[in-house]
Amino acid sequence: MVNRQTTTFLKQRMEEAGIRPVSKFGQNFLIDLNLVNMIADSANLTQQDVVLEVGTGTGSLTGLLAQKAGRVITVEIDQNLWQLAQEELASFKNITFLQQDALKNKNNLNPILIETIKETMREIDSARLKLVANLPYNVATPLISNLLTLDDLVPTSMTVTIQKELAERIVARPGTKDFGALSLWIQTQCNAEIVRIMSPTVFWPRPKVDSAIIHIETDLVRRNRIPDRGYYHRFVRNLFIHRRKLLRGVLVSVFKNELSKQDVDQVLEGINLTGSVRAEQLAVPVIFELCERFRVLQQERDES
């Protein structure tokens, strides 16, 4: 299976199983075997790693990951593919197959998945969690974002295939059209780079958009500087709800029931920000400092 995920093989194997790709599950299978290998190689796996794969598919990437990592937890929402992949990969003893949605909702991971990760990581001394997957497009943003909210299960890296547009948003720089809440949330904690851009022709069925392999490395020093990740996550999302509005107006709206306009002005003046600037123009460290000043101010008000 590891070396056979071609269009011909997929069509034949699915016909034998009486199944076909389901578009609502984002089933686009990577048929370029060199790119399948590139994803696995870019993750730099060792026997110390517990790999989380979301979107097992027929198990082509799963088998490669199982050869390199200590354990693999692979999640597939489609029961037919879940069963097929288990048949194809029956010889592997270090793979846990889960048939479920990886997400409880858009803001939370499935509790069963979280518990499975915890149990699996206890089997390896000093285990490291890594996300490696050809992600279904519809779960990519919430999955990557929510993994970074976890305190004790944050991945050391994420190597995934996602929409090219999403990859460009993740690595976008301040002042560009793609820079936003997701850029901030990830760049405050991680280093991210696009490994490869891929055309629709390397998938079957072909998606309507280009894709990209992106590699994200968690920087624990930067991550641990965030005293309250939940607060920071909410702050950056609120900051970009109305991305074209001036920063002062957005902040007044965000804190309208908690802080006065004078409070907002004092915070902005404290870090030399004028009322004419927009959030999308600010560097990541500046927005982090802005968030911290509001967090501390609110904390002081709550305690007084």
Render 93-153 in DSSP notation, one character per residue. Answer: SSEEEEES-SEEETTEE-HHHHHHHHHHHTTSTT-EEEEEEE--HHHHHHHHHHHTT-SS-
Same domain assignment for residues 219 and 239: no
Last residue of a domain, one of 176, 204, 224: 224
Question: Pairing relation of β-strands 29-30 and 203-204?
Answer: antiparallel
Could you tell me if 162 and 251 lie in one domain?
no
Q: Tell me the sheet residues that pair with 212.
A: 162, 197
Same domain for 206 and 252, yes or no, is no
Domain span at 292: 229-303
Those residues with Cβ within 8 angstroms of residue 206's Cβ, 6 or more apart along the chain or in another chain = 28, 200
Task: For residues 241 and 201, state if they share a domain.
Answer: no
Residue 5 — pLDDT band, cuts 50, 70, 90? confident
Give per-residue pLDDT as tens, 233-269.
Answer: 999 999 998 888 999 999 999 999 999 999 999 999 9
Number of domains in the chain: 2
Mean pLDDT of 192-209: 96
Does any domain span residue 2? no
Average pLDDT taken over every residue of the chain: 94
Split at pLDDT 50, 70, 90, the class of 127 is: very high
**pLDDT value at 2 more than 60:** no
* Distance from the first to the final alpha carbon of the chain: 64
Domain boundary among 224, 241, 274: 224
Of 224, 249, 276, the domain-final residue: 224
pLDDT at 304: 75
